[in-house]
Amino acid sequence: MKDLSKKELLWYLPIFYFILLALWAFVDNVVNARTQVGNFLIPSIVLLALLLTKNYRLQIIIGVILLLWSGLLILAYFSDAAKIVVFDEKAINFLFYGGLITLLNLLMSILLLFNDLHSHRRKINVPSTMETII
């Protein structure tokens, strides 16, 4: 088995994070007997397809969607945190774990988006002025 380099690990890390996050939400909703639990598996299927194909365009599209989703998640987190009046144990757990998940979502979506942008940067061959004159 070949060892993963740091670059490959950075490519796989956000995909596995979002797959595990979707599976965690699915299992949590199944255990608590909530409805519409299948909606959490749809992002996992798309991310598994990205993992198997390593498609550049699909990664850009998913990265942008997850970055926008993380922005909305940050706004929702700050909105809910502003409504806290009493700082009991439940509020502190929400602030800590909600902030941690919100921050990780933002970091992983940025990593997913810009990790592949950096590796696929095209080099532009600009002719020198002497070559264009001659």
Q: What is the pLDDT of residue 76?
A: 92
Q: Per-residue pLDDT tens for 16-55?
A: 888 888 888 888 877 877 767 677 778 788 888 888 887 7
The mean of the pLDDT values for the chain is 80
Nearest in space to 13 (alpha carbons), one of 97, 101, 103, 111: 111
Q: What is the pLDDT of residue 33?
A: 74
Q: Per-residue pLDDT tens for 61-73?
A: 888 888 998 999 9
Q: What is the pLDDT of residue 1?
A: 47
Q: Is the pTM above the cut of 0.85?
A: no
Identify whether the C-beta of residue 30 lies closer than 8 Å to the C-beta of residue 78. no
Residue ranges per structural domain of the chain: 6-117
CB atoms within 10 A of CB 22: 19
Asked if the model's pLDDT at residue 124 lies above 50, the reply is no
* Residue 2 φ/ψ, nearest 5 degrees: -80, 150
User: Which residues lie below 8 Å from residue 131, measured CB to CB, with a gap of 6+?
Assistant: none
